Amino acid sequence: MNGNGLRHAWERFHKAEAARKHMLASEDFQKLESAWREFLQAANAVFVKLELAAKSDTRAAPWFGQKTHARKQDDLMCYLHHARNSDEHSLQDVTTGRPGQVSIASEGSIQIAWTDGDSVAQVSSLEDKPIKMERGPPRVELLPVVDRSKTYDVPAKYRGAVLDAPQLAAVAAVALDEIRAVLDEAGQFSKTA
């Protein structure tokens, strides 16, 4: 395998890691969506660079063919590949913003009085019991994507474990573990350019 190509693949991997870090630090929809798109591009580029690096190596080329097949069979990696294609080659959104939520709980009855044109609520206990309010942050969620007229749903599970798809950084972390394993394995074919 061309060592220069493997180095390029690792560079794209590090860009994908950086995009995940940006997701973790993002506090608004636009920055989070932008970081997700950067992640999709960089993660895909790892496989493009590996393909180029393996192409002329009689041992690495069949290995990469197996990895390509495995990627197509893996629900998460397949989804990410097609999400990147959809984002790059169509006008379809691959994510959607969800507003934050407020939950209100009390051991007794509560009253909610809307004021200011239904934009402000005043919550009070009718039984003088404590009221617990929690605010959930706004979030960006993955959407099913269409690539070449086929729909790819967001995987709900990955290797038997529930995949927290609303948490883009968590999805990226799982994918990065898979990509790192492929890159580590590719190292066995490495030779200098």
Lowest mean pLDDT of 35-49, 57-71, 162-176, name the range: 162-176
| pLDDT number for residue 84 | 96
pTM: 0.80
Please, is 151 exposed, middle or buried when counting C-beta atoms within 10 Å of its C-beta (0-12, 13-18, 19+)?
exposed
Let me know how long the chain is: 193
Q: Above pLDDT 70, what percent of the chain?
A: 94
Q: What is 29-51 written as a DSSP string?
A: HHHHHHHHHHHHHHHHHHHHHHH
**30-50 pLDDT, tens digit each:** 889 999 999 999 999 999 999
Q: What is the mean pLDDT of residues 141-150?
A: 92
pLDDT above 80: residue 164: no
Q: How far is CA 138 from CA 18, 27, 28, in A?
A: 22, 9, 8
CA-based nearest residue to 92, from 145, 51, 136 = 145
In degrees and rounded to multiples of 5, residue 91 shows phi and psi of: -100, 5
| pLDDT number for residue 117 | 66
CA-based nearest residue to 171, from 9, 51, 24 = 24
Lowest mean pLDDT of 71-80, 109-118, 182-191, name the range: 109-118
